[in-house]
């Protein structure tokens, strides 16, 4: 079955960096657009970033633009999220997800998430 497994979360001070990774299995990874989402306590899940199947096109939420970078390695079936200049408001559980259509808001497969905590 399809599995998306996130890693790399943790506790970091404001201004610091973290790199999240998502390892995919059970699907033809290179056919899927990949995205990162996050959900803070008491808030709705929100979109963070996405990347096309080839890695050639990316899109970011305004709140992370210029600070976060999404990338993928189709040879390794992984997608990463480099997070720099972290802020306390970035604290959330971060999820990776897979979609057949980059332009769609429908992400078919989801990971279990990894916690990111940014202290002030």
What integer pLDDT is reported at residue 104 of this predicted model?
A: 85
State the SS3 of the chain. CCEEEEECCEEEECCCCEEEEEEEECCCHHHCEEEEEEECCCCCCEEEEEECCCCCCEEECCCCCCCEEEEEECCCCEEEEEECCCCHHHCEEEEEEEECCCCCCCCCEECCCEEEEEEC
Q: What is the pLDDT of residues 63-96, one digit of tens each?
A: 999 999 999 999 999 999 999 999 999 999 999 9
Per-residue tens of pLDDT for the chain, all 120 residues: 999 999 999 999 999 999 999 999 999 999 999 999 999 999 999 999 999 999 899 999 999 999 999 999 999 999 999 999 999 999 999 999 999 988 888 999 999 999 999 999
């Amino acid at each position: 079955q399809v599995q998306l497994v996130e890693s790399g979360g943790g506790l970091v001070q404001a201004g610091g960096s973290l790199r999240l990774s998502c390892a995919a299995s059970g699907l033809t990874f290179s056919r899927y657009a990949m995205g990162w989402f996050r959900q803070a306590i008491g808030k709705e899940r929100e979109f963070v970033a996405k990347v096309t199947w080839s890695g050639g096109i990316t899109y970011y939420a305004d709140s992370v633009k210029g600070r976060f970078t999404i990338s993928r390695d189709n040879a390794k079936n992984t997608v990463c999220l480099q997070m720099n200049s972290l802020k306390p408001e970035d604290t959330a559980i971060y999820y990776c997800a897979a979609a057949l259509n980059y332009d769609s808001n429908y992400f078919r497969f989801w990971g279990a998430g990894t916690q990111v905590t940014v202290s002030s």
